[in-house]
Amino acid sequence: MIKLLNILQKLTRKIPFFYYYVRKLIGYNPILIKIFYDKELKVLEKIKNKNLTIIDIGSNDGIFLNLILSLKIKVKKIFAFEPNPLNEFSLSKIDNKNLKVFFLGLGEKKNMLNLYVPFYKVLFKKVYLTSYSCIVKDKAKNDLNKSFSKYFRKKFEYEKFFIKIVKLDTFNLKPDFIKLVAGGFEYQIIKGSIKTLKRYKPVLYLDPHSVKVKKLLTNLGYNKLYLDLKTYKFLKIKKNNNSDQCFYIHKQNNIFN
């Protein structure tokens, strides 16, 4: 049954309209979320004796937040950052006393930037694909081209939003775990988080990751690791490994030990 559902999910990713509604269906169902999204995060359940402070950078429509809240973990506080105004309604519906949402973008310095959100028209209705939103428009185009069939690629349009950018370091948070997905803007966000990373050495979960990001985090004392989903043990990623999901764990602060 799970294999069939996975096949159906892959098929829906080829058609924007189906992808939009299937994502919404999964996002509201804690059982389906665990099947389809970020199975790596179940490793957090290995942490038994710590109340976690979690930062979600790039919360989008809240699927990651719903997944975290469905796990059997102790949560002290969750701080979520999302700059796309189209996601404010979805995020405001997540009712949890430990959750604080900031409708802001993060970066290397305080700034105002454009955010490009792709959409597809169905019977004159705009269907927004907010999970493909990017500050760099060409990055959004490239991601869409990789995901959707050739028929739809020329049909995508973009809506532009002017968003506020601030540094994570200005919030003086004390995170244990940070999830960071920001449409190719991860490097700039990490640059604005250096003080936080140096002081608290949180685990980072990045998807995707880049050579620049790896070099920066390695210089800060982090090891880049891959989670074996069969054994739930961390392994060093091989040179040619193209896995999109990876963890960065500081040499001096492995909360999984």
How far is CA 165 from its chain centroid? 17
Order of all β-strands in the sheet with 99-102? 99-102, 75-81, 52-57, 177-180, 203-206, 246-250, 222-228, 233-236
Identify whether 103 is part of a domain.
Answer: yes
Among the listed ranges 113-127, 168-182, 231-245, which one has the minimum average pLDDT value? 231-245
Identify whether 98 is part of a domain.
Answer: yes
Burial of 175 (0-12, 13-18, 19+ CB in 10 A): buried
Identify the DSSP state of 202. Answer: -
- Residue 71 phi/psi, 5° resolution? -80, 155
Could you read off the pLDDT of 30-88 as tens digits, one per residue?
A: 666 666 666 788 899 988 888 999 999 999 999 899 889 989 899 999 999 999 999 99
In the predicted structure, residue 6 carries a pLDDT above the cut 70? no
Q: How many CB atoms lie within 10 A of CB 156?
A: 18
What residues pair up with 244 in beta bridges, in sequence order?
Answer: none
Nearest CA to 91 among 64, 66, 62? Answer: 62
Give the residue ranges of DSSP H helices in the chain.
Answer: 2-12, 16-27, 30-36, 63-70, 88-92, 137-147, 150-153, 186-191, 194-200, 211-219
Percent of the chain with pLDDT strictly greater than 70: 81
Residue scoring higher pLDDT (164 or 25): 164
Domain count, the chain: 1
Identify whether 256 is part of a domain.
Answer: no
Could you read off the pLDDT of 129-163 as tens digits, one per residue?
A: 999 999 999 999 999 888 887 778 888 999 999 99
Structural domain containing residue 90: 2-250
How far is CA 116 from its chain centroid? 17
Identify whether 228 is part of a domain.
Answer: yes
Query: CA-to-CA distance for 253 and 74, rounded, in angstroms?
Result: 18
So what's the pLDDT on residue 123?
81
Contact (CB, 8 A) for 139 and 183: yes
The CATH number of whichever domain residue 200 belongs to comes to 3.40.50.150
So what's the pLDDT on residue 210?
83
So what's the pLDDT on residue 9?
57
- Taking the C-alpha atoms of 214, 195, 71 and 232 in order, what is their torsion angle to the nearest 10 degrees? 40
Identify whether 255 is part of a domain.
Answer: no
Identify whether 111 is part of a domain.
Answer: yes
How far is CA 60 from its chain centroid? 8
pTM of the entire structure?
A: 0.89
Could you read off the pLDDT of 17-42 as tens digits, one per residue?
A: 666 666 666 666 666 666 666 678 88
Identify whether 193 is part of a domain.
Answer: yes
In the predicted structure, residue 15 carries a pLDDT above the cut 50? yes
What residues pair up with 203 in beta bridges, in sequence order?
Answer: 177
Contact (CB, 8 A) for 141 and 154: no
Identify whether 7 is part of a domain.
Answer: yes
- Taking the C-alpha atoms of 141, 143, 149 and 154 in order, what is their torsion angle to the nearest 10 degrees? 0
Residue 126, CA distances (Å) to 46, 86, 129, 159 in order = 42, 12, 10, 10
Residue 176's identity, in one-letter code, is D
